[in-house]
Amino acid sequence: MPREMAYFQGKIVPLEEAKISVKTHAFLYGTACFEGIRGNWNEDQGVVHLFRIREHYERLRRSSKILKIGLALSDDELCDLTTKLVEQAGFTEDVYIRPIAYKSQEEIGPRLHDIEDDFLVFVMPFGNYLDPDAGIRCMTSTWRRVDDLGIPARAKVNGLYINSALAKTEAQENGFDEAIMLDDRGHVSEGSGENIFLVRDGKLITPAPSDNVLEGITHDSIIQLAKDELGIETVERSIDRSELYIADECFMTGTAAHVTAVTEVDRRAVGEGGTGPITKQLQQLYFDAIRGKNEKYAAWLTPARPKKEQAAGQRVNA
C-alpha cells in the first residue's frame, strides 16, 4: 500500500514518525523556509514526473541563505533523496512534496544566528488546489503584501505565510476563491500562493521581482512556453489595481494552482468572464509539459518510479 513518508533526521520514515518538539525554534517563530514541488502521475508511462525539482532546491538554497540556514546536502543529493522518497512512498497519483529547511534547536528568543538547523521533506497525494477548468473569482485584499523591508517575499519563509493566510481567509469569507495582494505602494504583487499575469493586446504583463513577489517556477515556465511556443513576449513591470479590471485576460500560476484563469476581480468580469484564449493555450502547453507529454520539455522533469511494496514502517537509510 502506498503511504505518506518523510525524510526526517537523516532517515526515510513513515510520516507519522516524523515529529518535532513543541520547543522547536521554527515552530515558535516561523524560522524556516520551504518548497512545494509537484509530482505528476503519467499512467501510460508508470512514472511520477517531478517538475523542475532542481530549480525548487536552488530556490530553497537562496531562501536558506537569507535565513542563515545551512543546507548540508548538495542539490544533487537533495534531488536524489526526494526521488527516492517518492519512489518509496509508492503513490500512483499526483503528489505534493514539501521540503523544509528549519531552525531545529529547542530555543527561546527570535534570531537567526547561532541556532542549529535541519532539513526534512515529506510526500503526500495531492489533487487540484484551485479549479483550473472553471477559473477563479478574486478580490483585491485589504491586507498589503509584506514588503522586502519587512520579510522578503522572494524567500519562501514559513512565517511569511501569515500574510497569505490573512488575505486568503478574508477572500474566502467574503465569497471569493482567492486574494490578490497589493504592496504598500498599491501595486499588484501576487495571490496568497500564486503569481499573477495579465494579458493586454496579446502581450503578457506580470509584476517585476522587485514588486514583493516570490520568484515563481511556474511563472518562469509560463514565460518560456509563451515565448517559445506562442511567440508571446512577457513584460515585467508594476501593475495598478485598476489595470486588473480592464485586462483582456488574467491568470494565476503556481505549483499548487497550476495555471488558473481569474474570471472576475472585485465583481468585475475579466474579459468575457471565462478562461481567455491565450490562458487556455498556455494551460494546455503547461499541462502537457508537466505530465511528460511534450518531449521538448523533458529536461524539466525527473522521473520517479513508484515501488509496489513499501518498506512498511522499516527504517531506510537515505
Residue 214 engages ligand PMP in binding (rule: CB under 6 A) = yes
Residue 36 engages ligand PMP in binding (rule: CB under 6 A) = yes
Residue 283 engages ligand PMP in binding (rule: CB under 6 A) = no
Residues 136-155, one symbol each (x = binds ligand PMP by CB under 6 A, - = not), give: --------------------
Find the binder of ligand PMP among 99, 132, 193, 276 (CB under 6 A): 193
Residue 219 engages ligand PMP in binding (rule: CB under 6 A) = yes
**Interface size with ligand PMP, residues (CB under 6 A):** 14
Residues 52-91, one symbol each (x = binds ligand PMP by CB under 6 A, - = not), give: ----------------------------------------
Cα–Cα distance list, 305 to 47, 86, 88, 261 (Å): 5, 8, 9, 32
Segment interacting with ligand PMP, rule: CB under 6 A, options 1-9, 118-126, 191-199, 266-274: 191-199
Given the residues 156, 168, 296, 308, select the one marked as catalytic.
156
Residue 14 engages ligand PMP in binding (rule: CB under 6 A) = no
* Nearer Cβ to ligand PMP (112/151): 151
Find the binder of ligand PMP among 83, 195, 212, 263 (CB under 6 A): 195
Residue 216 engages ligand PMP in binding (rule: CB under 6 A) = yes
Segment interacting with ligand PMP, rule: CB under 6 A, options 68-76, 209-217, 259-267, 303-311: 209-217
Cell of 34: 520551504
Does 156 qualify as catalytic in the annotation?
yes
Segment interacting with ligand PMP, rule: CB under 6 A, options 81-89, 213-221, 229-237, 303-311: 213-221
The three state secondary structure string of the chain is CCCCEEEECCEEEEHHHCCCCCCEHHHHHCCEEECCEEEEEECCCCEEEEECHHHHHHHHHHHHHHCCCCCCCCHHHHHHHHHHHHHHHCCCCCEEEEEEEEECCECCCCCCCCCCEEEEEEEEECCCCCCCCCCEEEEEEEEECCCCCCCCCCCCEHHHHHHHHHHHHHHHHCCCCEEEEECCCCEEEEECCCEEEEEECCEEEECCCCCCCCCCHHHHHHHHHHHHHHCCCEEECCCEHHHHHHCCEEEEEECCCEEEEEEEECCEECCCCCCCHHHHHHHHHHHHHHCCCCHHHHHHEEEECCCCCCCCCCCEEC
Q: Which of residues 236-255 bind ligand PMP (CB under 6 A)?
A: 253-255
- Residues carrying an active site annotation: 156
Contact positions vs ligand PMP (CB under 6 A): 36, 164, 190, 193-195, 214, 216-219, 253-255
